[in-house]
């Protein structure tokens, strides 16, 4: 049941982004399809936005057809800072798991792997 609801919402997203792209392409100003519908604009800007929205259409179409793409589609809707924080958190958790595995492996066989013997381990780029 949840899969059908998610699938329906993803297909609704595809339809919404298709409408948004079409509205931007032809210059039809409507509050739900334009974020700043009352701001002055140039036609070329709307054409660029229309073609950029095609990426969202493709992403949501893929997510509706392939369940493994759903997290990417949902992450695309999050603000950039939220995505960055989630990536750092995931990277830090992976790094912590690597460190725990490193400690366990050192106990078993320190001299068999030169990387473990020197203390080198993969690190995440955690810079903001």
pLDDT tens, position by position, 48-58: 989 999 999 99
pLDDT digits (tens, 9 = 90+) for 76-104: 887 766 555 655 565 566 555 555 555 55
What's the CA dihedral at 47, 49, 54, 57 to 10 degrees?
Answer: -140
pLDDT band at 125 (very low <50, low <70, confident <90, very high): very low
Residue 87 sits in which domain range? Answer: 81-118
Beta strand segments in the chain, E: none
In a domain, 124, yes or no: no
In a domain, 127, yes or no: no
In the predicted structure, residue 110 carries a pLDDT above the cut 60 = no
CA-closest candidate to residue 122, choices 97, 89, 88, 86: 97
Q: Is 47 found in the same domain as 110?
A: no
Q: Is 89 found in the same domain as 51?
A: no
Cα(55)–Cα(53) distance, rounded to whole angstroms?
5
Please answer whether residues 124 and 95 qualify as being in contact, where contact means their C-beta atoms are separated by less than 8 angstroms. yes
Considering the chain, what is the average pLDDT of its residues? 74
In the predicted structure, residue 128 carries a pLDDT above the cut 90 = no
């Amino acid at each position: 049941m949840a899969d059908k609801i998610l699938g329906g919402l993803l297909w609704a997203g595809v339809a919404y982004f298709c409408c948004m792209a079409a509205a931007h392409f032809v210059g039809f100003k409507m509050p739900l399809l334009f974020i700043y519908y009352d701001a002055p604009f140039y036609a070329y800007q709307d054409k660029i936005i229309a073609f950029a929205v095609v990426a969202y259409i493709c992403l949501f179409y893929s997510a509706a057809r392939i369940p493994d793409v759903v997290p990417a589609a949902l992450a695309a809707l999050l603000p950039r800072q939220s995505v960055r924080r989630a990536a750092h958190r995931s990277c830090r958790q992976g790094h912590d798991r690597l460190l725990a595995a490193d400690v366990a492996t050192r106990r078993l066989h320190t001299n068999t792997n030169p990387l473990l013997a020197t203390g080198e381990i993969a690190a995440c780029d955690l810079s903001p």
